Amino acid sequence: MLYPVYIHLGDAHHAHGVTMPDFPGCFSAADDWVMLPAAIQEAIDVYFEGEDMEIPLPTPLEVLAVNPDYQGGAWLLVDVDVSRLHSESKTVELAALQ
């Protein structure tokens, strides 16, 4: 499932930081853009490990992009493999949100 993640751009001395709006309190970082998807998946795996919580649906990027908390960085859509999560989590039904 594609989730938007916000990238706090790094430089030669700092890793790229990652904020995941759909997973409050879940953060990640990587030195290289190529490493970001694996680092993000690992952080989400750990976030759900041993927890019994629902897997949220992704927030539309157009909603997040206008949020003043997310300025000066970049957005990345990451394909999160929710089937890897090690909890009794259940995906929220789209009909339940309507």
pLDDT band at 42 (very low <50, low <70, confident <90, very high): very high
The model's pTM: 0.80
CB-based contact 78:3 (threshold 8 Å): yes
Give the residue-averaged pLDDT of 14-26: 95
31 close to 42: Cβ distance less than 8 angstroms: no
Mean pLDDT computed over 69-76: 92
